[in-house]
Amino acid sequence: MRNSNILLVDSCKADFENVKKAFNEIDVKFTLHVAQNDTEAWLMLQGDNKISPIPKIVLIDINEESVNGINLLNKIRIHPDLKSILVFVITRTDNERNKAAALNLNIAGYMHKPDDSKKMTDFFSILNDYWNIIEFSSEKK
């Protein structure tokens, strides 16, 4: 998945700094875009600030207070150009209602965020290995 766009939706600045650090440590070839809430993320997917090419992967913490993640997931899943995006929910908090709703929207995985930077690096190393063996459409959007 070299040279692809990834969108991270998370309102916690420390978390997205840790994600960036982990990606750099494992040498992911990526352009990481960060949105602090669902509205900003949607604008990056379909608004004036649209990311090009469309991200192949979205990482989202649907349980953050300022992120209406289920609403964003619904919009992604019904949009013809976005519905094939791999969405991973990565969160620290348990919310069974959100978990069930996200799983029903065909997310690629629901995982707990690691607590420290070493675990974060290991976590994203595993995800990176997965992203590098799966096939993505070569169609440009």
Q: Is residue 88 a part of any domain in this protein?
A: yes
Chain mean pLDDT for the chain: 87
Two tokens at 25? Answer: 């440590």
The band of 59, judged by pLDDT with boundaries at 50, 70 and 90, is very high
Domain of residue 98 covers 4-133
Secondary element (H or E) of residue 6: strand 4-9
Q: Is residue 129 a part of any domain in this protein?
A: yes
Out of 3-7, 46-50, 51-55, 63-67, give the one with best mean pLDDT.
51-55
Across the range 30-47, mean pLDDT stands at 91
- How many structural domains comprise the chain? 1
Residue 49 has pLDDT above 90, yes or no: no
CA–CA separation, 27 and 105 (whole Å):
31
Rounded to two decimals, the pTM is 0.89
Q: Cite the beta strand spans of 11-138 per DSSP E.
A: 30-35, 57-60, 86-91, 109-112
- ω into 80 cis (within 30 of 0): no
Residues constituting the chain: 141
User: Does residue 76 or residue 138 have the better pLDDT?
Assistant: 76
* Cα-based angle 38, 75, 67 (whole degrees, multiple of 5): 20
pLDDT, one tens digit per residue, over 66-103 is 778 899 999 999 999 999 999 999 988 888 998 999 99
Cross-strand partners of 19:
none
Question: Using an 8 Å Cβ cutoff, are 120 and 92 in contact?
Answer: no
Q: Is residue 26 a part of any domain in this protein?
A: yes
Give the domain CATH number at 62: 3.40.50.2300
Across the range 45-72, mean pLDDT stands at 87
Q: Is residue 30 a part of any domain in this protein?
A: yes
